[in-house]
Structure 1
Amino acid sequence: MRFKGVLFDLDGVLLKSMEQHLEAWQHAFSRFKALINEADFYQLEGRGVRSVVKALTQKYGIAPEFHEEIIRDKIKCYESIFNPEFYDGLYGVLDLLKKHQIKMAVVTGGQRDRVQKITADYFSGYFLGEVTSDDVVHTKPYPEPYLKGAEMVKLSPSECIVVENAPLGIQAAKAAGMRVLAIATTLPKSELTQADFIFDHFDQIEAWFQGELVTADA
């Protein structure tokens, strides 16, 4: 079956932002003398902010009463250091899919206000909408976010392909019954093996989509 929709994760896929998120979490936890590292954080990528803070405070023995304060500090720091960067070849993929009238949406563990501002500022005209952590009961690795993404583009899960960079996101998409293209932007390929295909760069993903579209149109 030819795919008719593509659902994109945001951070680490559409936006080169994971390093900035890590820096913000490190700042928020610094007064507790907790040293958050890449291994701590990248494995949690895809969860909502409250799920992330719960996991990290449990790991470092920090009381739940500090959750909201840590979240506020993290968001404030992230906003102060945010500098939008994009991966080479990303817009080539988006333009190709748009040209072929493929329906697209963003599915992310980010918060709605931030996500909608980013898509409006940098991705206007590409996406039909966004599914954020504010729109679901269960964030990734549960399938709910991607199932809502399929509903948003009015397609069945089997008609959708997901582009992800994180294990929890891949798990969520597979549980939703979707094929997954993983891109190794933040983690090595060895940690993305649940995906159907794994790529190093967006130009490789563009070539894959081009091949699929040409085959389907033949």
Structure 2
Amino acid sequence: MFKGIVFDSDGVLVNSMPFHAKAWVEVFAEYGIEVTEEDIYEIEGSNHVGVINIFFGRAGRTPEPGIYDEILEKKRTHFLENNRAEVFEGMYECLLSLKGNFKLAVASGADRTIVTSLMDKFYPGIFDVIISGEDVKNGKPDPEPYEKAIAKLGLSKDECLVVENAPLGVESAKNAGVFCVGVPTYLDEIKLQQADLVVKNHAELIDCLTGLRDYFA
């Protein structure tokens, strides 16, 4: 029986990935590395260390130790200055209705400043736990983000459900041994085929989550 639900943030709770993607593209260009927005969607969920390692590696380069914080700060600044993210329709009301019956958490690959600013704006008072990309040593697809969120909720993996929209996030949830629902926000649903259940869109996701709520009503 599920007692907790852990959500990815970008692409699940907030339609913010286009602004993350643009920020990464602009910042990597400053370092002479060509990256497309589609490239970013493909590795969505990884924390900043993972993202930097991936694209520097593809360019045949090795990041210097001090460059991680430098790039993170530039990316964060770009995102916050250009962010026009919006909440997905119906998600706040859905989570508000779930809160009485479930412990709720966020496990995101984004940095804490961005995650908390988005959650404070769109989902104030909803979440019991928020895990950012800076709170873990190993980002998605490593299981650490979801394992840490579940541990902080005080639950077992069998008592939790994960909601994800990205391949690396789904892989992270499954590596943690957690049931995963996938919602294809920016990529084709076939990219989420490792999930235990894939819904067609956010409307169907809300129906799924409302069904869980009604079970406890």
Q: Same fold (TM over 0.5)?
A: yes
Q: Deviations over 1:23-69 (max 9, x none)?
A: 11111122344331133212221111121011111112345235544
Q: Pairwise mapping of residues 118-197 of structure 1 onto structure 2 (< 5 A)?
A: 118-197=118-197
CA-based RMSD: 1.9
Code of the aligned partner of 1:198:
V
Paired letter, 1:28:
V
Q: Which runs of 4+ in 1 moved over 6 A?
A: none
Report the alpha carbon displacement of residue 208 of structure 1 after superposing the two structures with TM. 1.5
Note the C-alpha offset of 1:209: 2.4
The equivalent residue for 1:212 is: 212
**For this pair of structures, how many residues does the alignment match?**
215
Contact 1:9 1:163 in 2 (8 A): yes
Residues 88 and 201 in structure 1, CA contact (< 8 A), matched pair in contact too = no
Distance in structure 2 (CA, Å) of the matches to 1:102 and 1:137 = 27
Pairing 1:21–2:20 present: yes
For the residues of structure 2 that align with 1:137 and 1:31, how far apart are their CA atoms? 26
**Gapped runs of 5+ residues in structure 1?**
none
Q: What displacement does 1:165 show?
A: 0.5
Write the letter of the residue equivalent to 2:71.
I
Query: Deviation at 1:118?
Result: 2.3
Q: Return the letter of the residue paired with 2:79.
A: Y
Query: How far is 1:85 from its partner?
Result: 0.9
> SS of the residue aligned with 1:185?
coil
In structure 2, the partner of 1:104 is 104
**CA distance, structure 2, for counterparts of residue 210 and residue 72 of structure 1:** 38
Aligned partners of 1:214, 1:67: CA distance in 2, in Å?
A: 45
Structure 2: how far apart are the matches of 1:201 and 1:95? 19
Letter paired with 1:51:
G
Q: Which moved more, 1:117-126 or 1:5-14?
A: 117-126
How far 1:96 moved relative to its partner? Answer: 2.6
Report the equivalent of 2:117: 117
Greater Cα offset, 86-95 or 150-159 = 86-95
State whether residues 54 and 67 of structure 1, in contact with CA within 8 Å, keep that contact through their aligned partners in structure 2. Answer: no
Q: Could you list the runs of 5+ residues in structure 2 that have no partner in the other structure?
A: none
Give, in angstroms, the shift of residue 132 of structure 1: 1.5
- Residue matched to 1:9: 8
Q: 1:33 to 1:139 in 2, by over 3 A?
A: closer
Secondary structure in 2 aligned to 1:46?
Answer: coil
Shift in CA distance, 68/208, structure 1 to aligned 2, threshold 3 Å:
closer
1:84-128, Cα deviation, whole Å (9 max, x unpaired): 311122123212312x42110111111123222322232112100
| TM-score, L = length of structure 2 | 0.90
What residue in structure 2 maps to residue 55 of structure 1?
54
